[in-house]
């Protein structure tokens, strides 16, 4: 079903959208405007994300404003408020602590923690110290964590004793680069790693003795600031490098696509382990001087509505999976709450179905504004704006300062622009925006392969309609999007293959009403093993233990043979077509029997 256009939001009396005339701003916009708005002087040659997000506010009345309002998962607890100046002081102490431990500019500080204020302190303190911040998702199992920390040459990891025991203790002694495990809490007992290079540090006493004053390290705009991992179809996870200059895009895109105004009460529900949780969960909102809501608990419909109501949230940035879960509870639950503070709703991470846009309008009184971006782009690239009509189901139009197009490339690597409206091709972006990734760590060839001349190929298929709106079609590769998380099939298959019974494995995403896709594994067994429920549970159990529940397959199907190319590569595309009863497409390279 196609839905009619949702007319642009009418501005509330006091608040005009930041982006009032899309066409006019697009035509004239230069990234220099972001530098000017943030008083970034090219003359000094210095730029540090933390200076923009925190230090700057210490000279204005924003310092006394609440930066973080933390909602603990403990029942009946009161919200904890942390002002911009208190957060600044905590980040200073953290930066002082890192320096006292001998960490230097460019060292990689990983963070494995739930959503708590400590995470913000660690992120900002790491940046202040000139180190590189790399967040990990706490629902990852030991395997994905080790892979990312090894690729990233981790020097330190900030975590809790519980997560250390569960996800790190079994392997950290073998880490070639890790020197510190910085524990946010103090456990009763903890076994020390049997590696004398590696030290466990209890942060509480260290921070108490660290200086609350710290002069932010004068990094340069092109210095590495953030390392975000993303999944590819083959090989190991990719470490996307982002630089301090990215802050210009974080700031500007949040002004345009999230319509952030100072003093907004803003809730970004993304987990800090993913790029959204950093770019728009930490950096962009602090740059704008808003109050951030941090909820430690997991999704629960009633709790979420209560948060929107009781915290007077004005701008809400969430994801399609969450919206679909709320939709399942029906409009009644929403209507039992006073949601009149809400001013702007946005969504990212997966295709936002038209029904969800319209549901927002009917149930919450506001439409969801879908926007599109990915780890590599570092910030929002295509969006629906407050001042623009929404075509439900569309990702919107390119951000001012961003050139997006549809193209295809030949086997020989030549690019052809697709200019006919509505023709499907790969979504491409003209290189050069401030938050563009600057490389995949240690994998320059993989990075170069993503570009033809100065166009970046995103790996997503899309079309552009006659009005310049972009529509998502699907991934151009086999990467799976489950509950907003990108999952590389290769990473999952590699763990399945470690089970003694598994001879071969192919992993695909199966469409799912709530989560977008769920991971399904197809497995061929070694001779002598019986395909039964017990074995299936055993293999799934191994996958959950090693990969964590967010990444592990939800189900397994046993097959005598998996479809393969003549060169022996499992054809996931064909597994998927057969599973879903879709056309098999080109099977000329198929070599089915072994
Ligand atoms: P990640 O790098 O984990 O943030 O995932 C990025 C990928 O998520 C994109 O390349 C898309 O495949 C998908 N994605 C993100 N936002 C949207 C959206 N608004 N509509 C459809 N797919 C999206």
Per-residue pLDDT of 246-266, as tens digits, reads: 999 999 999 999 999 998 999
Going from the Cα of 349 to the center of ligand 1, the distance in angstroms, rounded, reads 4
Cβ neighbours for 240, distance < 8 A, ≥ 6 positions apart: 227, 228, 229, 230, 375, 376, 378, 437, 439, 440, 441
CA-to-CA distance for 415 and 130, rounded, in angstroms? 39
Pocket test for ligand 1, best of 230, 324, 378, 460 (most atoms within 8 A of CB): 460
* Domain extent at residue 522: 478-593
Pocket test for ligand 1, best of 253, 318, 473, 486 (most atoms within 8 A of CB): 486
pLDDT-based confidence at 2, cuts 50/70/90? Answer: low
Q: What is the mean pLDDT of the chain?
A: 93
Residue count of the chain, please give it: 594
Going from the Cα of 244 to the center of ligand 1, the distance in angstroms, rounded, reads 23
Q: Whose CA is nearest to atom 3 of ligand 1?
A: 486
Q: 1 or 430: whose pLDDT is higher?
A: 430
Q: Based on the domain organization, do 486 and 458 belong to the same domain?
A: no
Residue 8 lies in a domain: no
Residue 550 lies in a domain: yes
Looking at ligand 1, which atom is closest to the CA of residue 486?
A: 3
Q: Does 426 score more than 60 pLDDT?
A: yes
Q: Based on the domain organization, do 578 and 440 belong to the same domain?
A: no
Q: Whose CA is nearest to atom 15 of ligand 1?
A: 349
Residue 247 lies in a domain: yes
For residues 98-116, average pLDDT: 97
Handedness of CA 354, 356, 362, 366 (dihedral sign): negative
Helices (H), 184-289: 203-208, 246-257, 275-278, 284-287
Rounded (5°) CA angle 419-474-282: 100
Residue 241 lies in a domain: yes
Q: Based on the domain organization, do 411 and 490 belong to the same domain?
A: no
For residues 380-392, average pLDDT: 96
Q: 250 or 574: whose pLDDT is higher?
A: 250
Q: Based on the domain organization, do 103 and 222 belong to the same domain?
A: yes
Cβ neighbours for 290, distance < 8 A, ≥ 6 positions apart: 260, 261, 262, 263, 264, 265, 266, 315
Going from the Cα of 135 to the center of ligand 1, the distance in angstroms, rounded, reads 18
Q: Based on the domain organization, do 425 and 524 belong to the same domain?
A: no
- pLDDT (tens digit, 9 = 90+) per residue, 42-58? 888 899 999 999 999 99
Tokens of 138: 């706490």
Could you tell me if 347 and 319 are in contact, meaning their C-beta atoms sit under 8 angstroms apart?
yes
Q: Domain boundary residue among 432, 464, 496?
A: 464
Q: Based on the domain organization, do 363 and 421 belong to the same domain?
A: yes
Residue 4 lies in a domain: no
Q: Based on the domain organization, do 437 and 525 belong to the same domain?
A: no
CB-count burial class (<10 Å; 0-12, 13-18, 19+) for 534 = exposed
User: Which whole-number Å values give the CA distances from 89 to 247, 263, 501, 531, in the listed order?
Assistant: 21, 21, 54, 58
Q: 552 or 234: whose pLDDT is higher?
A: 552
Pocket test for ligand 1, best of 231, 368, 374, 393 (most atoms within 8 A of CB): 374
479 backbone dihedrals φ, ψ, rounded to 5°: -65, 140
Residue 16 lies in a domain: no
295 backbone dihedrals φ, ψ, rounded to 5°: -110, 120
Going from the Cα of 347 to the center of ligand 1, the distance in angstroms, rounded, reads 11
CA 448 to chain centre: 22
Please choose, from the candidates 550, 522, 515, the residue with its C-alpha nearest in 3D space to the C-alpha of residue 536: 522
Q: Based on the domain organization, do 487 and 446 belong to the same domain?
A: no
What residues are in contact with ligand 1 under a 6 Å CB criterion?
230, 275, 348-352, 370-372, 374-375, 395, 458-460, 472, 475, 481, 486
DSSP single-letter state for residue 64: G
- pLDDT (tens digit, 9 = 90+) per residue, 516-540? 899 999 999 988 999 999 999 999 9
Looking at ligand 1, which atom is closest to the CA of residue 375?
A: 2
109 backbone dihedrals φ, ψ, rounded to 5°: -110, 115
Q: Whose CA is nearest to atom 8 of ligand 1?
A: 349
CATH of the domain at 48: 3.40.50.12780
Please choose, from the candidates 460, 453, 464, 412, the residue with its C-alpha nearest in 3D space to the C-alpha of residue 431: 453
User: Which whole-number Å values give the CA distances from 467 to 19, 124, 421, 470, in the listed order?
Assistant: 18, 41, 9, 9
Q: Whose CA is nearest to atom 9 of ligand 1?
A: 374
CA-to-CA distance for 223 and 400, rounded, in angstroms? 25
CA-to-CA distance for 98 and 213, rounded, in angstroms? 13
Going from the Cα of 372 to the center of ligand 1, the distance in angstroms, rounded, reads 6
330 backbone dihedrals φ, ψ, rounded to 5°: 80, 165
CA-to-CA distance for 134 and 145, rounded, in angstroms? 11
CA-to-CA distance for 350 and 482, rounded, in angstroms? 9
Residue 280 lies in a domain: yes
Q: Does 585 score more than 80 pLDDT?
A: no
Crossing angle for the helix pair 489-496 and 142-151, nearest 10 degrees? 120
Q: Based on the domain organization, do 344 and 398 belong to the same domain?
A: yes
Q: Based on the domain organization, do 421 and 557 belong to the same domain?
A: no
Q: Domain boundary residue among 418, 438, 464?
A: 464
pLDDT-based confidence at 13, cuts 50/70/90? Answer: low
- What proportions of the chain, in percent to the nearest 5, are helix, strand and coil? 30, 25, 45
So what's the pLDDT on residue 593?
43
Q: Based on the domain organization, do 371 and 430 belong to the same domain?
A: yes
CB-count burial class (<10 Å; 0-12, 13-18, 19+) for 27 = exposed
DSSP 439-450: -BTT-HHHHHHT
CATH of the domain at 560: 3.30.300.30
pLDDT-based confidence at 370, cuts 50/70/90? Answer: very high
So what's the pLDDT on residue 14?
66
Domain count, the chain: 2
- pLDDT (tens digit, 9 = 90+) per residue, 293-341? 999 999 999 999 999 999 999 999 999 989 989 998 889 999 999 999 9
pLDDT-based confidence at 136, cuts 50/70/90? Answer: very high
- pLDDT (tens digit, 9 = 90+) per residue, 20-36? 999 999 999 999 999 99
So what's the pLDDT on residue 431?
98
Query: pTM for this one?
Result: 0.91
So what's the pLDDT on residue 592?
54
For residues 429-433, average pLDDT: 98
Q: Based on the domain organization, do 228 and 340 belong to the same domain?
A: yes
As a whole-number percent, the residues of the chain with pLDDT over 90 amount to 78
- pLDDT (tens digit, 9 = 90+) per residue, 178-208? 999 999 998 767 777 776 789 999 999 999 9
Helices (H), 416-463: 444-449
For tokens 């998927």, what's the residue? Answer: 576
Q: Does 238 score more than 70 pLDDT?
A: yes
Looking at ligand 1, which atom is closest to the CA of residue 276?
A: 4
Tokens of 318: 């969430």
User: Which whole-number Å values give the CA distances from 271 to 124, 185, 280, 303, 456, in the listed order?
Assistant: 17, 21, 11, 17, 27
pLDDT-based confidence at 594, cuts 50/70/90? Answer: very low
- pLDDT (tens digit, 9 = 90+) per residue, 433-457? 999 999 999 999 999 999 999 999 9
CA-to-CA distance for 92 and 85, rounded, in angstroms? 10
So what's the pLDDT on residue 184?
96
Residue 378 lies in a domain: yes
Q: 195 or 227: whose pLDDT is higher?
A: 227
pLDDT-based confidence at 282, cuts 50/70/90? Answer: very high
So what's the pLDDT on residue 423?
92
Q: 139 or 308: whose pLDDT is higher?
A: 308
């Amino acid at each position: 079903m196609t839905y009619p256009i949702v007319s642009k939001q009418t501005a509330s009396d006091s608040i005009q959208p930041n982006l009032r005339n899309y066409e006019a701003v697009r035509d004239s916009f230069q990234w220099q405007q972001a530098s000017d708005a943030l008083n970034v002087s090219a003359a000094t040659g210095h730029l540090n994300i933390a200076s923009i997000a925190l230090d700057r506010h210490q000279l204005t009345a924003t310092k006394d404003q609440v930066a973080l309002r933390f909602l603990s998962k403990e029942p009946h607890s009161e919200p904890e408020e942390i002002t911009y100046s208190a957060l600044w002081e905590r980040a200073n102490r953290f930066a002082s602590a890192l320096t006292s431990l001998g960490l230097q500019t460019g060292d990689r500080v990983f963070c494995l923690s739930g959503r708590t204020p400590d995470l913000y302190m660690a992120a900002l303190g790491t940046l202040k110290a000139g180190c590189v911040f790399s967040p990990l998702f706490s629902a990852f199992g030991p395997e994905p964590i080790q892979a990312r920390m090894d690729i990233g040459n981790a020097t330190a990891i900030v975590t809790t004793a519980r997560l250390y025991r569960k996800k790190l203790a079994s392997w950290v002694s073998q880490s070639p680069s890790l020197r510190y495990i910085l524990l946010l809490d103090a456990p009763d007992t903890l076994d020390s790693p049997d590696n004398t290079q590696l030290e466990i540090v209890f942060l509480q006493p260290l921070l108490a003795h660290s200086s609350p004053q710290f002069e932010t390290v004068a990094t340069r705009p092109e210095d590495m600031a953030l390392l975000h991992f993303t999944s590819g179809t083959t090989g190991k996870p990719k470490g996307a490098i982002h630089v301090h200059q990215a802050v210009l895009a974080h700031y500007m895109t949040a002004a345009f696509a999230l319509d952030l105004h100072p003093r907004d009460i803003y809730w970004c529900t993304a987990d800090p382990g993913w790029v959204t949780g950093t770019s728009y969960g930490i950096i962009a909102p602090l740059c704008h001087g808003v109050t951030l809501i941090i909820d430690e608990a997991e999704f629960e419909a009633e709790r979420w509505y209560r948060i929107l109501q009781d915290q007077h949230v004005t701008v809400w940035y969430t994801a399609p999976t969450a919206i679909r879960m709320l939709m399942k509870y029906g409009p009644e639950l929403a209507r039992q709450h006073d949601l009149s503070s809400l001013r702007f709703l946005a969504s990212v991470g997966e295709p936002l179905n038209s029904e969800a846009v319209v549901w927002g309008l009917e149930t919450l009184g506001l439409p969801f504004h879908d926007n599109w971006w990915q780890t590599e782009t570092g910030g929002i690239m295509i969006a629906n704006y407050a001042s623009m009509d929404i075509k439900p189901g569309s990702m919107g139009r390119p951000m001012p300062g961003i050139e997006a197009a549809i193209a295809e490339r030949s086997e020989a690597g030549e690019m052809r622009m697709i200019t006919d409206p509505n023709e499907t091709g790969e979504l491409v972006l003209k290189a050069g925006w401030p938050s563009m990734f600057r490389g995949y760590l240690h994998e320059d060839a993989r990075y170069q392969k993503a570009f033809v001349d100065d166009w970046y190929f995103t790996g997503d298929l899309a079309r552009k309609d006659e009005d310049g709106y972009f529509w998502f079609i699907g991934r151009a590769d086999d990467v799976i999007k489950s509950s907003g998380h990108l999952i590389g099939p290769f990473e999952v298959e590699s763990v399945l293959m470690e089970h003694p019974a598994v001879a071969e494995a192919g992993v695909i995403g199966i469409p799912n009403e709530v989560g977008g896709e769920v991971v399904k594994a197809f497995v061929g067994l070694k001779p002598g093993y019986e395909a039964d429920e017990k074995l299936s549970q055993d293999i799934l159990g191994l996958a959950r233990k090693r990969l964590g529940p967010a990444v592990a397959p939800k189900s397994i199907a046993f097959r005598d043979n998996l479809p393969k190319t003549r060169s022996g590569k499992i054809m996931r595309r064909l597994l998927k077509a057969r599973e879903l009863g879709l056309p098999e497409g080109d099977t000329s390279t198929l070599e089915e029997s072994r």
